[in-house]
């Protein structure tokens, strides 16, 4: 019988939210049975010691100033663990890009991060937190020794080659430029007035739903762009505009094309959708 892959999970500078997201994976017990858990800060596991692993999971950001973790300097500890591992999963936006706490392991926002030289063995799973099914998918693929197709930032294409806009129930409103007038409402698109970042956020939140039922835009909350390098941006609930034109437009579309389509949609009007918006707000 083959031995189980050894998994070491280290929590750097973060909030443990990524771990808590994973705890919501419905088949967590079965998945953990397929690995040998060498260490996890919150799950029952053997005492901490620096050692080799097949899969190292790094949750949280770095701090380059002295920041102790289990009596080690955090950056030195991560350096040791990365060298001793076969594969590294960077769990969460903090770990991949720095997020809200500090520097990322692979990237420091737009720039290459401290451990960029180890990119070849890294799989980036940004998200604040990442969806439990994304985490389980990557662990499962590694356990089964299957190839995961990655994009140029080492994110699994299966998850991040879409935007969170894809699959949103408000797409029809986006097409016709009919804007939601408030949070928590069902009708209208949250892009122009409420700051939704769905059209330029790499994620599959509207295809792989949270708790299998929902996503932020479905619940009437704009997408915060939590999988992206610059997360968290200022003015989360506001779409920056210049002379009425959104500063950020859907990925892959030129500003000219966006403005032309938006102008035509607004001028033609969709009475059926406008009526739904009016009915909801009366």
Asked if 45 interacts with ligand SF4 (CB under 6 A), we say no
3-state secondary structure of 13: strand
* Site stretch for ligand SF4 (CB under 6 A), options 37-45, 115-123, 170-178, 236-244: 170-178
Asked if 18 interacts with ligand SF4 (CB under 6 A), we say yes
Q: Which of 25, 39, 160, 174 binds ligand SF4 (CB under 6 A)?
A: 174
CB of 251 to ligand SF4, least distance (A): 11
CB of 180 to ligand SF4, least distance (A): 7
Two structure tokens written together for 159? 């998850």
Asked if 189 interacts with ligand SF4 (CB under 6 A), we say yes
Q: Which of 7, 10, 14, 203 binds ligand SF4 (CB under 6 A)?
A: 14
**What phi, psi does 112 have (nearest 5°)?**
-70, 140
Calculate Rg over the CA atoms of the chain: 21
Asked if 59 interacts with ligand SF4 (CB under 6 A), we say yes
* Site stretch for ligand SF4 (CB under 6 A), options 9-17, 27-35, 139-147, 252-260: 9-17
**CB-based contact 191:198 (threshold 8 Å):** yes
* Site stretch for ligand SF4 (CB under 6 A), options 39-47, 71-79, 183-191, 262-270: 183-191
Q: Residue 246's beta-bridge partner residues?
A: 241
Asked if 223 interacts with ligand SF4 (CB under 6 A), we say yes
Asked if 170 interacts with ligand SF4 (CB under 6 A), we say yes
Q: What is the DSSP string of 230-244?
A: TPSPSSTT---EETT
Q: Which residue, 87 or 165, has its beta carbon nearer to ligand SF4?
A: 165
Instruction: Give, for 68, the enclosing helix (H) or strand (E).
Output: strand 68-69
> Is it true that the peptide bond before 232 is cis, omega within 30 degrees of 0?
yes
**What phi, psi does 270 have (nearest 5°)?**
-125, 100
Q: Which of 168, 208, 262, 277 binds ligand SF4 (CB under 6 A)?
A: 168
Asked if 17 interacts with ligand SF4 (CB under 6 A), we say yes
CA distance 31 to 37: 11
Cβ neighbours of residue 126 under 8 Å, at least 6 residues apart?
Answer: 90, 92, 93, 96, 97, 155, 160, 202, 226, 227, 228
Q: Which of 4, 15, 72, 79 binds ligand SF4 (CB under 6 A)?
A: 15
Asked if 165 interacts with ligand SF4 (CB under 6 A), we say yes
Instruction: Give, for 78, the enclosing helix (H) or strand (E).
Output: helix 74-83
CA distance 248 to 251: 9
Q: Which of 82, 128, 138, 139 binds ligand SF4 (CB under 6 A)?
A: 128
Asked if 93 interacts with ligand SF4 (CB under 6 A), we say yes
Residues found near ligand SF4 in the complex (CB under 6 A):
14-15, 17-18, 59-60, 92-94, 99-100, 128-129, 164-165, 168, 170-171, 174, 189-191, 196, 198-199, 217, 223
């Amino acid at each position: 019988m083959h031995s189980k892959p050894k998994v070491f999970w280290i929590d750097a500078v973060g909030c443990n939210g990524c771990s808590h997201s994973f705890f919501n994976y419905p088949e967590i017990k079965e998945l953990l049975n397929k690995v040998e858990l060498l260490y996890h800060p919150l799950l029952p596991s053997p005492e901490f010691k620096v050692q080799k692993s097949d899969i190292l999971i790094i949750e949280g950001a770095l701090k380059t100033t002295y920041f102790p973790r289990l009596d080690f300097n955090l950056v030195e500890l991560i350096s040791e663990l990365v060298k001793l591992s076969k594969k590294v999963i960077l769990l969460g936006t903090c770990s991949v890009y720095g997020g809200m706490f500090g520097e990322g392991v692979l990237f420091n926002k737009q720039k290459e991060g401290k451990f960029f030289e180890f990119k070849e063995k890294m799989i980036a799973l940004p998200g604040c937190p990442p969806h439990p099914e994304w985490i389980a998918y990557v662990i499962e693929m590694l356990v089964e020794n299957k190839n995961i197709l990655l994009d140029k930032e080492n994110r699994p294409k299966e998850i991040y080659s879409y935007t969170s806009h894809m699959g949103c129930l408000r797409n029809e409103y986006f097409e016709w430029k009919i804007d939601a007038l408030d949070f928590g409402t069902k009708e209208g698109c949250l892009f122009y007035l409420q700051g939704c970042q769905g059209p330029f956020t790499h994620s599959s939140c509207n295809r792989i739903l949270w708790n299998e039922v929902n996503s932020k835009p479905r619940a009437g909350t704009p997408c915060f762009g939590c999988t992206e390098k610059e997360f968290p941006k200022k003015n989360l609930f506001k779409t920056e505009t210049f002379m009425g034109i959104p500063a950020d437009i859907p990925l892959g579309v030129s500003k000219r094309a966006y403005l032309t389509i938006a102008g035509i949609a607004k001028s033609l009007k969709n009475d059926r959708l406008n009526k739904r918006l009016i009915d909801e707000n009366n």
